[in-house]
Chain A
C-alpha cells in the first residue's frame, strides 16, 4: 500500500470507470461507443489547506503523494485537527456488481437487443405527429478504492443500466419532447416497461394537441409523486447541505435544530444505503451511509455533512461527502432524499381543490431560498376534477413558507431514480421521492 507522509493527513481515491452508450434516432445509430477510464485523486492536508493532484497514471500515485507532501507544512498534531479527527477508519469491500451482475460482461449485441426490443414495441411510425424518436441504452460501472493515512481501506462499486425512449411530437409548428427513462442496476431489470412508455407517449400526444397556456398567478396545486420528488430535492434538500452554513450565523439561526419548518405532516429523510440511484455505501471521505432524518413531523432534526461541516457545527458525520469523479474534491451532497408517505388518497386530494393545478411531470429545478420547478405536463383542476392540459413555464415558491402550506400528503409514495444533481460544478446521481402532496399556494408563470 502507499507510504503516507508523516505529520500530514492524506488520502487516495482511485476510480475505474466503464461506460457504454447506444443512441438511435429515427433508425440511425447516432452514438455507438464505449470506453474505460482509470484515474486517481491524491490529497494531502496540513491543517490549513488541501494540496491535491489528479493523475491517470496509477503507478505514479506514490510519487504524487510525495510531491504534494513537499508543498504542505507538516504538523505533528494533524490528527488532533477537528475534522481530521472526524474521519472514520473502515476497512470494507462492498462489491455488488461482480460475476454475473457485472454489466461490463454484457456484449454490445445484447445491449442492441434491448434497444431493438423497445424500438419494436414503442415506436409507431404511423403517428404523423411524431417526426422524431430516440431510443437510448446506456450502462456504466464504477469501481472506487479509497485509502487514507488514518488506515481506511474501502473498495466499492456502483453500476447503472438505463433505457430511455423519447418522442418529438410536432403540432402546429411546436415540438414537444416527452418520454420515459428507467435506471436500474442490472440489465434484466430494464424489461417490461413498454406499456408505461406507450401510455406516457399518449399523454404527451394529448398534451401537445390540447394544452393551453396557464394564466400566470398563484394557485393551489397537487404535485404528483414525480413532482414532489423534485420539490423535496430543490425546496428543502439543498438547504440541508450544511457546507452552506459553516460559519454563517444568519443561516445557522434560521435552520436551528428543533425549529418548526413545515406542516406536521412533513417528514423528510436522506438515506445513502437505499438501493437507489443515490446509493453510496461509503462516501468519498470513507464514512458509511446513514439514514438521516432531516425533518420529522415538521421539525428540523438533522442535516447533511462532510467531516468539515460536522466538525464546524459540532454534529455527527452523515456519509454525504461526494465527488463527481476523481477530478473533484468531495462536497456535501444529497443521496436518496424523500418525503415520507402519508395517509391521504390522491383522488381525495384532487377532489378537495375547487380551482387549481395538478403538476404531473417535471423537467428540472433549482434550490435557492426561492425554489423553482420547470414542469413538463400540468392539468387544470376545476371543482375537484382534472381538466385540460396546461403549459406552465415555471413554478416558484419560498422554502420558508411552502413546507407549511402542505395540507395533504398522499399514500402513493414513489422513488424516482433518474436524477442528476448539479452543485458547485459537480454532478452526481441522486434519487428523490415522495407521495402526491397538496400545497395551498405556489406561483405559476
Chain B
C-alpha cells in the first residue's frame, strides 16, 4: 500500500529595517513524504525539492527493507478538498501594500523606528493513498508584522503587533497601528485589579501537555486523575477546532489521516475535563480513546499532538466582559512561562492599558503571576466574541502582580 503526503509552500516577503526597504524575497519549497506500508510496517522517504514519484517510492521501499518503522494500523480513506483562499495578491501589489503601510506609520508616527515584514504565504497540503484517500487543503493569507521602538527608548525593541488576513484591508492595518501607537507616550498606572487581555495560543500549551493521553496514563500530567472532574471555570470550554477561521494553514486531517467528526473534538466542557487526546499509536499502547490527534511527520511515523486548541468564545464582546474595568495588553513579554507545577510567571517589559477597545496609555513593566488552574479557573473571565485589539481572539483573565526589578 502506498501513500504520498505533500506540502507546497510559496512565500513572497517584503522586509523593512529602520523604516527603509531592505529586501524582497521569494521562497518556493515543496516537501514530499513517500510511504510504503506492508505487514504492519512502513518505509518512509522524505524529499525536499524535486524527485519523481517513481524514485521517491523506490527509496521508501528501500527504507521498508532497511529501516522499517512500525505502523500496525489501517490506512484512512476519503475524498475532500478545502480551499480557504479568498484573494491572492501579486508580488507588485504586495510591494504596494507594504509601501502604503510604511508611508502611513512613518508619516503619522515619526518618533518611532519600525522593523517590519509584509508577506503572502500560500500553502497546499495534500495526502493520497492506494486506499482511495484524496485530501487537499489550501490556504493563502497576507501577514503583517510590525515591531516598533520609540526613538527615546534605551531598549532594543518596545512593542510588536501582527495580524493575518485572507483579503488584506488597509483599514485593519491603520486602526491597529493607531491603537498601538497613538497613546504610546501617555504614561498610566497599573490598575488595582490586573486583567490581562492576550492572544491565548501560547497559554494553552501547558494545557495541551496536560491533556496528552500518554501523560495522563503515565501520571505525568497535571490533570492525571482529574478526567471527569470539574477543574476549570464554568465558561471554559476547550476544543480542537479545525474550522476556526482565524487559524492559518491548518489541515482538516491529522498525521494519521483521520478527520474529526464535524471537524471538532472537545476536551474540556464548561470546566469539566472530558478526555485527553491520543493518536492511533498511543490509543493502542495505553488503551485510551483515539481522538484523531496526531501531528504530521514527513520523515517518520506520526505521534500524538493536538493541532488547533481553541477556547470557546463568549457571546459578549471584550468590552462587555470587562464591564467598565480596564485590561492590560502586553506588548513585549517573554523569558518566563509555565513551571512544572502549573505556575505561570511572565516578565512584561512593556504593556498598555486598554478599555477593551481603545488602548489608553503605557504601563510600567511588571511580572505576571498566575497559574494554569487559576487563569482558566477562578480568574478566567472569558474570550470575547469580537477581536478589537489583535484582530484575533482575546482571552481575559485576572493575574497577580510580581516585581520585575
Contact = CB atoms under 8 A, between A and B. Distances in A.
A32 B67 contact: yes
Given A33-B44, A216-B403, A374 B336 contact: yes
B369 A49 contact: no
B220 A170 contact: yes
A239 B154 CA distance: 10
A127 to B, nearest CB: 14
B299 A35 contact: yes
B335 A32 contact: no
18 contacts: A33-B299, A54-B29, A71-B24, A168-B220, A175-B221, A216-B403, A244-B157, A246-B18, A250-B153, A329-B25, A368-B349, A393-B343, A394-B335, A396-B347, A398-B405, A443-B405, A445-B336, A445-B367
A53 B299 contact: no
Given A393-B343, A445-B403, A56 B154 contact: no
The residue among A56, A216, A218, A234 with the most chain B CB atoms within 10 A of its own CB is A56
Contact of A372 (B22, B24, B219, B347): B347
Interface size class of A (residues with CB under 8 A): 35 or more
Contacts of A238: 156
A427 to B, nearest CB: 15
Nearest to A19: B299
Contacts of A369: 154-156, 349
Contact of A248 (B28, B149, B341): B149
Interface of B: 17-18, 21-30, 44, 46, 48-50, 67, 69, 113, 149, 151-157, 215, 218-222, 224-225, 285, 297, 299-300, 303, 332, 334-337, 339-341, 343, 345-347, 349, 365, 367, 369, 402-405
B18 A394 contact: no
B336 A173 contact: no
A431 interface: no
Given A175-B220, A373-B335, A445-B367, A368 B21 contact: no
Contact of A173 (B26, B27, B222, B347): B222
B120 to A, nearest CB: 15
Contacts of A176: 340
A-B pairs, 4 with minimum CB distance: A372-B335, A56-B49, A366-B335, A393-B345
Contact of A374 (B218, B222, B337, B404): B337
Nearest to A308: B17
B50 A56 contact: yes
Nearest to A372: B335
A54 B26 contact: yes
A388 interface: no
Interface in A37-55: 37-39, 48-55
A441 to B, nearest CB: 9
Interface of A: 26, 28-35, 37-39, 48-57, 71, 108, 131-132, 168, 170, 173-177, 216-218, 234, 238-239, 243-251, 254, 327, 329, 364-374, 391, 393-394, 396-398, 400, 443, 445
A54 B345 CA distance: 40
Nearest to B153: A250
Contacts of B27: 53-54, 327
A433 to B, nearest CB: 20
Nearest to A131: B218
Given A32-B69, A50-B22, A244 B154 contact: no
B343 to A, nearest CB: 5
A218 B402 CA distance: 12
Given A48-B21, A52-B23, A54-B26, A39 B48 contact: yes
Contacts of A51: 23-25
Contacts of B69: 29, 32
A177 B22 contact: no
Nearest to A331: B17
Contacts of B215: 175
B18 A247 contact: yes
A368 B219 contact: no
The residue among A243, A394, A398 with the most chain B CB atoms within 10 A of its own CB is A394
Contact of B367 (A30, A48, A175, A394): A394
A368 B157 contact: yes
B26 A368 contact: no
A437 to B, nearest CB: 19
Contact of B220 (A28, A39, A53, A131): A131
Given A108-B67, A175-B340, A248 B365 contact: no
B152 A443 contact: no
The residue among B27, B69, B334 with the most chain A CB atoms within 10 A of its own CB is B27
Given A35-B46, A246-B18, A371 B222 contact: no
A55 B48 CA distance: 10
Given A132-B220, A368-B157, A445-B402, 4 more contacts: A371-B335, A391-B341, A396-B347, A445-B367
Given A132-B220, A368-B349, A400 B24 contact: no
Nearest to A243: B17
Contacts of B24: 49-52, 71
Contacts of A250: 151-154
A26 B27 CA distance: 40
Contact of B154 (A251, A366, A393): A251
